[in-house]
Amino acid sequence: MACAASRTPGGVDASEHDAGRAVALWVSAFEILAHDGEWSGPRIVVSLLDRVQWLRQELKARDRVVFFDKKKKTPIPTNVAGEVYEHLYRVRNDFLHGNPVTAETLKLAKPKQSVLFFAAPLFRLALTAVLDLRSPELSDASDDQNYDHIAAGTPFSGPQLLAEDAILMAGEASTMAG
């Protein structure tokens, strides 16, 4: 599912329908990955993202809330990764219910970039939680002050930090505004 979602249409024949389809495929890929054997849904995906061993200090805190119920009665604490997933989920729902999916509805609030740019790094991070991948170089109490040393040639932390950087980029402006 993730492989199909990552095939972004290009060229003159690309349409908003293709973007909506890609978002729907990404959400399905996340829900398949997070499936607990009985059920899957947005809350389970956010719970999965909470199990990622975050290397960046900014992603360790659950400093935001998302809502998946219409009346916003049940807040779910999360970080910017959960916010990115919430946006993907909402665009998917719009698409599947026949609401227009435009270049504007795909954009996140502040970086003004399409949520599709952040789906693959977010999926990569979710995979680390499912596979229970941990950085052998770092203890749970470590911080990211040692970025250059960690990123240089380590099999886990280098790609992990790049994916985390992408997610932080998605939340950059909203963090500054908050």
For residue range 133-143, list pLDDT tens digits in order.
887 765 444 45
Smallest Cα–Cα separation from 165: which of 147, 152, 177, 141? 147
Spatial contact of 67 and 100, defined as CB atoms under 8 Å apart: no
With a CB cutoff of 8 Å and minimum separation 6, the contacts of 11 are: none
Least confident of 120-124, 141-145, 155-159: 141-145
Query: Which residues are CB-contacts of 130 (< 8 A; sequence separation ≥ 6)?
Result: 33, 34, 48
State the residue for tokens 């990404």.
26
Q: Which residue has the higher pLDDT, 102 or 172?
A: 102
* Predicted local confidence at residue 52, as pLDDT: 96
Please report which helix (H) or strand (E) contains residue 64, including its range.
strand 64-66
The pLDDT tens digits of the residues spanning 26-43 come to 999 999 999 999 999 999
- Cα–Cα dist 117/150, whole Å: 25
pTM for the model stands at 0.85
- At position 66, the amino acid (one-letter code) is V
Is 77 strand, coil or helix? Answer: strand
Mean pLDDT, range 43-65, rounded to an integer: 95
